[in-house]
Amino acid sequence: MTYQFDFGVVLRNYPILLEGTWLTIRLSITAMVLGLLIALAMVLARRSRFWGVSAISLAYVEIVRNTPFLVQIFLLYFGLPTLGIRMSPNTAAVIALSINVGAYATEIIRGGVESISKGQIEAGLAIGLRPLQVFRYVIFKPAMRAIYPALTSQFILIMLTSSVVASISANELTYVAQSLETMTFRSFEIYFVVTIVYLILTFLLSRIFDFLYGYLFSYPTR
């Protein structure tokens, strides 16, 4: 083996990698927030008494969950300009990630909401709670507590999936790594470090979600 490892190329270009890492974090957080809002809206739409509204929600979930994410982002970035709709790579990345995570989160949240029995809802109304209070205390919190692990796992997955947006030149971590590798030809060193960065991001995000779970959903023991 004659290959000489040179991690100095990474050290010399660490500001670029840090910038890419920061954009990955920003893209992921924005997609998580927007995706959660989309999911909540779609869950309410699915439970609507109007057939058309419910059908739109169902169609959205089925289309997004049954098509590749790469095709979705290509449609947004390369397809929409045909209709006169143009956007920057980063904007297309945020929209695509939000739409994608929203579809999966819709089904997760819907499952949690539907796990709450009608008896609990009726009991809340019987003791004088208003409908909004019933939703907040009887439906929403217990449902979120049940689905929290699955929902946060989906959020972590979307952070890792954000690497795909490098295909449209959104300058997140993977795209920065690709550009740096093209200039230096140090594939192993660059992608080894990028792998470590993704592992650290995943670990930190998992710890943050664990902390939030204990803070938001723990019940007093006495």
Residue 46 contacts by C-beta under 8 Å, 6 or more apart in sequence? 54, 57, 58, 106, 110
What pLDDT score does 5 carry?
A: 84
Would the pLDDT of 220 be above 60? no
Q: What are phi and psi of 148, to 5 degrees?
A: -55, -45
Collect contacts of 210-214 with beta carbons under 8 A, ≥24 apart.
Answer: 213/148, 213/149, 213/152
Tens of pLDDT, residues 127-147: 888 877 777 777 777 888 889
Give 202's pLDDT tier (boundaries 50, 70, 90): very high
Would the pLDDT of 221 be above 60? no
Q: What are phi and psi of 188, to 5 degrees?
A: -60, -50
Q: Are 106 and 61 a contacting pair, CB within 8 Å?
A: yes
Percent of the chain with pLDDT over 90: 61
Tens of pLDDT, residues 122-132: 787 788 888 77
Give the integer Cα–Cα distance in Å for 108 and 32: 14
Tens of pLDDT, residues 13-51: 889 999 999 999 999 999 999 999 999 899 889 878 888
Give the integer Cα–Cα distance in Å for 99 and 141: 24
Burial class (CB in 10 A: 0-12, 13-18, 19+), 170: buried
Q: Are 23 and 88 a contacting pair, CB within 8 Å?
A: no
Give the integer Cα–Cα distance in Å for 86 and 45: 29
Tens of pLDDT, residues 59-74: 999 999 999 999 999 9
Give the integer Cα–Cα distance in Å for 106 and 60: 10
Q: Identify the CATH assignment for 8-217 out of 1.10.3720.10, 3.80.10.10, 3.40.50.2300, 3.90.226.10.
A: 1.10.3720.10
Domain residue spans of the chain = 8-217
What pLDDT score does 1 carry?
A: 59
Which residue type, as a one-letter code, is found at position 94?
Answer: V
